[in-house]
Amino acid sequence: MTLHPLVSMILHRLALGLLTLFAISLFIFFAIELLPGDLAEEVLGQSATPETVEAFRRELGLDQPAMLRYFNWLGGVVRGDFGTSLANGRDIAELLAGRFANTLFLAIYAAAIAVPLSITLGLLAALYRGSWFDRAVNILTLTSISFPEYFVAYILLLYFSVTWGLFPSIADFGSDADLSTMLFRTFLPALTLVLVVTAHMMRMTRAAIINLLAQPYIEMARLKGASPVRVILRHALPNALAPIVNVVALNLAYLVTGVVIVEVVFVYPGLGQLMVDSVAKRDIPVVQACCLIFAGIYILLNLGADVLAIATNPRLMHRK
Amino acid sequence: MSDTLLTIRDLRIEGRQGDIWQPIIKCVDLDLRRGEVLGLIGESGAGKSTLGLAAMGYSRDGTRISQGSVTFDGMDLLGMSERRRRGLRGKRIAYVAQSAAAYFNPAHRLIDQYAEAPTSIHRLIPRGQAEQEAREIYAQLRLPNPDEIGFRYPHQVSGGQLQRAMTAMAMSCKPDLIIFDEPTTALDVTTQIEVLGAIRDVVRELGTAAIYITHDLAVVAQMADRIKILLRGEEVEEQPTRDMLAAPKEEYSRSLWAVRSFTSEEKSAPASDEVPVIRVRNVTAEYVRGAPVLDDVSFDIHAGHTVAVVGESGSGKSTTARAITGLLPPVAGAIELDGAALPAQLAARSKDELRQVQMIYQSADTALNPKQTIREIIGRPIRFYLGLRGKAQEEKIRELLSAIELEPDQFIDRYPAALSGGQKQRIGIARALAAEPRFIICDEVTSALDQLVAEGILRLLKRLQEERGLAYMFITHDLATVKAIADYVVVMQKGRVVEQGPKGQMFSPPHHPYTKLLLSSVPEMDPDWLDTTIQDRKKG
Amino acid sequence: MTSISLKSVPLTALFGIVVITGFLLTGLFADLLAPFAETEIVGMEFEPWGGDYLLGTDNLGRDMLSRLIFGARNSIGIALATTVLAFTIGTALGLLASVLGGLTDQALSRLVDMLIAIPSLVFALLLLSIFGTSILMLVLIIAMLEMTRVFRLSRAVAMNVVVMDYVEAVRLRGEGLGWLVRREILPNIMAPLVAEFGLRFCFVFLAISALSFLGLGIQPPTADWGSMVRDNAALITFGDITPLLPAGCIALLTVSINFVVDWMLHRASGLKD
């Protein structure tokens, strides 16, 4: 059976992604084994009697060999069962579900604004490179990527919420809010994220286009009488898609996995905040679960970017 | 309608170097009539391409037209708005570049790029008509499968075909003038002749005027009605082609012709029982298992002799060098040095074995470490192989610099960036000599250099060979170089040796069919050469 | 080419150089500059600006200005140590991979691919939850994460040099690995590596300060800008900008570095043509 080269390449990448995810799950699980003691001792601390530690160990299944525990855990994960939290004994899958939805909502909200905005700005900056517009955008975005997220978040909070009272400072919208309430209440965290990722994506878009402007085929387009807009959109952009798609994927991944800070500042009940709380409490099963989900999303997005990059490259799509 | 199509007067163009503007073109005039082909020749840095682009009112980033006028069909190209200039480009003046592979956009099919100017940009004809015309002109340019080749992407088409497709693209709006900028320089000789023929026929049939830019005199002799010679941004002289070939007026023009006449006497064959310095014995090598890039290659190189290995790109000549140096160990056969087998792997060779085999590279730019001075570049092998340090090392460096005709005091502390192309190549030679080798591989050492400079390098290599009894292996695609320096010639094609023998024998019939094709494809000064050769091939 | 006249430096880069120098000096001479000791409780909690305490006091009654000054030493010092560590390991491995090629390159590259496939903040959180939060752990973990990026860059730029004919000439001569790396490759990749050092430092600095802000990085009572934002964050809801001061210091330093690096990269690309 012969497959289209694109299909076989996607399958190849998919297999590679699964392999990476498997390797990460191994890492996540066995990193704990590197501890001098074990989980039970770590959690209960110095003061616990050997009997309690022993009992706790049995409860966690730590008396079984690590390999067996790993496959039990992995088997559970595949079925959607992440075990129970050490801190409050609740089912982890249940704990995650709602928060994961919240994190995704915020990420999509921010992405819907940031992606079109940054690509448009990037193309404009490339078109008018060297102009005052380009220079101003350069300084602004350079500043914006240098700021810690919480700095941006607190400035927005100070003005939009405390001083002007336009938007709420706490982004929790409860369980039965309608869409417009949700969008309103999460406006400030979304805006923070937009500011942070737009700068990066816009700079990379501009750089990807400008990199290509020195290419001979761009000179050819100019010598055929093409206008500057046509040169950028028809001749540079198609060849810059792969790096642009890549940087968009990277930033989308960031929107899902890097929102921790923003969630903490605006007290938003997302996955990131849960993870931070769990790290502080050393609730390791929950941390492992969050970590695996984040890694999965990250790999999925990169996979998507790879496939898109292949699909837009005629060298790979149309073999000799 | 006046007969004059293009007039350039008192044109000056400057290029920026750091904060200063340096002249590239200094006061050049140019006239072109409708349907006429003007050949523009000169060495690298003469400003040919810059002048060609200026004829379109175009200057590259970092260059500017500082003075003068360009008048195209009565219109002032430099004075008009950029929008109006764009309206002329591609439509009435078109451009054909040297490297079609780089000048075609990899993201679009050939036909889309052909149709862009007449349909989307200048809106002259509908798409369907553009496609129809593309097929006709592809056929005229003798492209295979003219009906479907346009629907391929640039990477799916060979270099020679791409160059013709680019000529077709330039023709798409039926322009009055086409600028050809070295359109065949990047091609192998056997491909070049076809492209030259195709371009000339089309230009003649459509009566398009052209400026044909090249550094190759023999090529321009076939293509141009008149020839203009440029040197460092200034005109040397201009004459009708046949007059220029018969009687160049200026000293510089004559020197360009003279280069071709440099040849050396073939040395007598070595005694039959003499052990060669290097023997390549039945070598087969491969990068991928089961796909040999060298197939049973054998030849000998004797002390004091030069063996030229000739072939087109992909023939395996550079791979042979890699096998000899140990970078690509053969899967079968062996390399012998003075009758004893050399270890196949580089890592297994002794310091003395390494010392005996040295290499000089094609591009002197990438062959010298830009962060080391000449003293370090030449001094290191002296210390590494001969163990000389301090004063002895310094003396040896100076001795070598003198041997390659560079003044030691002036050059010893320079970095490569402060040297000309020819000087860099000489440093490359000195570095090889520093090891006191018996055998040197010269990989296309003159092909990146201008003819006069190249000739100097060849004479130097010849002299060093006589003084030191060196054996050379000369890798080249240029038959003029072979004539100039070789004693013995090995012709390669697709990883095999198709013919080998002493130079005199190789350049006189009877030939192996491939050698014949190769020899007959090299352009000659005779303006009728192209016609005669194409006629001959049709007959034969 | 090596001498740079002050006039040719753009305003943004000049600003950056001044700020970076200022912060470095502040960090070095923190003991002399600070009016109070790093952890000394000098007054009431959250005292306003002015008077004895120029910028007021923090949530425990420590002098804000003194803690900002000591913060310069701690925050920059720790980030610098981490970056140096990440660079040493990353560059060494990157050069090794590019020069040796083959299996070494494959093994190192695949390992780094895997490490990079985990988002770094998440990875850091996982490791911190397992190993606990101490400055040593923090430095080691962040250095290991950033090392992967340094590896990729140094391998890529070294690869461009390794394919040069002069490197082949050196190999054919029979030179050892040490000469090849030190004399032939390193001098030719210094410029991009120096620029990368600036950018990496920013990333490291922001990552550590983010962790500190979350209470998982540099631990009290050490004065550190990230944790200082966290400690005083409550003030913001009263419209008091004090918590923005340490955050502003972080922003100012990273902006400055980015300005300087941007100029360096621009110069390097400008010199090419």
Same domain? A18 vs A148: no
B77 phi, psi to nearest 5 deg = -65, -35
Can you give the pLDDT at residue C2?
A: 43
Instruction: Specify whether the CB–CB gap between B182 and B214 falls below 8 A.
Output: yes
How many other C-beta atoms can be found within 10 angstroms of the C-beta atom of residue C138? 24
**What range does the domain containing C89 cover?**
11-269
Please indicate, yes or no, if residue C128 is contained in any of the structural domains: yes
Q: Is A222 on the interface with B (CB under 8 A)?
A: yes
Peptide bond into C221 cis (omega under 30): yes
Residue A140 has pLDDT above 70, yes or no: yes
Which pLDDT band, with edges at 50, 70 and 90, does A257 fall under? confident
Q: Do C169 and B367 touch (CB under 8 A)?
A: yes
Same domain? A215 vs A310: yes
Same domain? A22 vs A74: yes
How is residue B21 written in tokens?
A: 């503007």
Same domain? A61 vs A110: no
CATH of the domain at C253: 1.10.3720.10
Can you give the pLDDT at residue A1?
A: 47
Partners of chain C (3+ Cβ pairs below 8 A): A, B
Can you give the pLDDT at residue B1?
A: 56
Q: Which residues contact A301 (CB under 8 A, 6 or more apart)?
A: A249, A250, A252, A253, A256
Partners of chain B (3+ Cβ pairs below 8 A): A, C
**Residue contacts between B and C (CB atoms, under 8 Å):** 50
How is residue B183 written in tokens?
A: 């359109």
Same domain? A154 vs A240: yes
Please indicate, yes or no, if residue A118 is contained in any of the structural domains: yes
For A:38-97, CB contacts with C below 8 A are none
pLDDT in tens, chain B (540 residues): 578 999 999 999 998 877 788 899 998 999 999 999 999 998 877 888 999 999 999 998 888 999 999 999 999 999 999 999 999 999 999 999 988 889 999 999 999 999 999 999 999 999 999 999 999 999 988 888 999 999 999 988 888 899 999 999 999 999 999 999 989 887 888 888 888 988 888 888 888 999 999 988 889 999 999 999 999 889 999 999 999 988 888 888 888 776 566 677 778 788 888 899 999 999 999 988 888 899 999 999 999 999 999 988 888 999 999 999 999 999 999 999 999 999 999 999 999 999 999 999 988 788 999 999 999 999 999 999 999 999 999 999 999 999 999 999 999 999 998 888 899 999 999 999 999 999 999 999 988 888 888 888 999 999 999 999 999 999 998 888 888 889 999 999 999 999 999 988 888 888 888 998 888 888 888 888 888 888 888 876
Q: Is C270 on the interface with A (CB under 8 A)?
A: no
Q: Is B86 on the interface with A (CB under 8 A)?
A: yes
Can you give the pLDDT at residue C184?
A: 93
Can you give the pLDDT at residue B265?
A: 76
List the single residue in A217, A226, A227 with the smallest CB-CB distance to B104: A217
Please indicate, yes or no, if residue A198 is contained in any of the structural domains: yes
Residue A165 region, left (φ>0) first, then alpha (ψ -120 to 50), else beta?
left
Please indicate, yes or no, if residue C1 is contained in any of the structural domains: no
pTM > 0.90: yes or no: no
Partners of chain A (3+ Cβ pairs below 8 A): B, C
Can you give the pLDDT at residue C61?
A: 79
Residue at token pair 């210390």:
B383
Instruction: Specify whether the CB–CB gap between A293 and A96 falls below 8 A.
Output: yes
For A:271-310, CB contacts with C below 8 A are 275-276, 278-280, 282-284, 287-288, 290-291, 294-295, 298-299, 302
Question: What is the rounded distance in angstroms from the CA atom of residue A190 to the CA atom of residue A262?
Answer: 9
How is residue A301 written in tokens?
A: 């997005």
Which pLDDT band, with edges at 50, 70 and 90, does A319 fall under? low
List the single residue in A139, A275, A298 with the smallest CB-CB distance to C125: A275
Mean pLDDT throughout A204-230? 92
State what percent of residues in chain C have pLDDT above 70.
Answer: 95
How is residue B103 written in tokens?
A: 């000048």
- List CB contacts (< 8 A) between C99 and chain B: none
Same domain? A148 vs A52: no
Residue C272 has pLDDT above 80, yes or no: no
Residue C3 has pLDDT above 50, yes or no: no
Number of domains forming the structure of chain C = 1
Number of domains forming the structure of chain A = 2
Same domain? A59 vs A126: no
Please indicate, yes or no, if residue C3 is contained in any of the structural domains: no
Q: Is B180 on the interface with A (CB under 8 A)?
A: no
- List CB contacts (< 8 A) between A228 and chain B: none
Output b/e per residue, B261-271; b: 16+ Cβ within 10 A: ebebebbeebe
Please indicate, yes or no, if residue A89 is contained in any of the structural domains: no
- List CB contacts (< 8 A) between C187 and chain B: 369, 371-372
Please indicate, yes or no, if residue C22 is contained in any of the structural domains: yes
- Between C244-272 and C11-28, two packed helices, what is the crossing angle to 10 degrees? 130
Please indicate, yes or no, if residue A91 is contained in any of the structural domains: no
Can you give the pLDDT at residue B463?
A: 93
pLDDT tens digits, residue range C158-171?
A: 998 998 999 999 99
Same domain? A74 vs A117: no
Distance from CA of A315 to the nearest CA of B (A): 7
Same domain? A68 vs A120: no
Q: Which residues contact B492 (CB under 8 A, 6 or more apart)?
A: B297, B309, B310, B311, B315, B316, B317, B320, B498
Question: What is the rounded distance in angstroms from the CA atom of residue C206 to the CA atom of residue A150?
Answer: 10
Can you give the pLDDT at residue C89?
A: 95
A81 phi, psi to nearest 5 deg = -110, 110
Peptide bond into B144 cis (omega under 30): no
Can you give the pLDDT at residue B245?
A: 87
Q: Do A314 and B107 touch (CB under 8 A)?
A: yes
Can you give the pLDDT at residue A20?
A: 85
Instruction: Specify whether the CB–CB gap between B121 and A230 falls below 8 A.
Output: yes
**Residue contacts between A and C (CB atoms, under 8 Å):** 132
Using a CB–CB cut-off of 8 Å, the residues of B that contact C are 62, 325-327, 346, 349, 351, 354, 357-359, 361, 363, 366-372, 380-381, 384-385, 431, 435
Same domain? A47 vs A107: no
- List CB contacts (< 8 A) between C193 and chain B: none
Q: Do B361 and C273 touch (CB under 8 A)?
A: no
How is residue B353 written in tokens?
A: 């074995």
Residue of A41, A46, A147, A215 to mutate, interface with C, max C Cβ within 10 Å: A147
Peptide bond into B510 cis (omega under 30): yes
Mean pLDDT throughout A1-23? 80
Q: Do B369 and C184 touch (CB under 8 A)?
A: yes
Distance from CA of B220 to the nearest CA of C (A): 30
Please indicate, yes or no, if residue C190 is contained in any of the structural domains: yes
Residue of chain B whose alpha carbon sits nearest to that of A311 = B107
Nearest CA to B439 out of B344, B336, B346, B362 is that of B336
Same domain? A240 vs A280: yes
The ipTM is: 0.84
How many other C-beta atoms can be found within 10 angstroms of the C-beta atom of residue A219? 21
Instruction: Specify whether the CB–CB gap between B375 and B455 falls below 8 A.
Output: no
**What range does the domain containing A65 cover?**
5-78
Residue of B53, B59, B105, B179 to mutate, interface with A, max A Cβ within 10 Å: B105
Can you give the pLDDT at residue B457?
A: 92
Same domain? A107 vs A164: yes
Please indicate, yes or no, if residue A234 is contained in any of the structural domains: yes
pLDDT tens digits, residue range A270-292?
A: 888 888 888 888 788 888 898 88
Can you give the pLDDT at residue A2?
A: 57
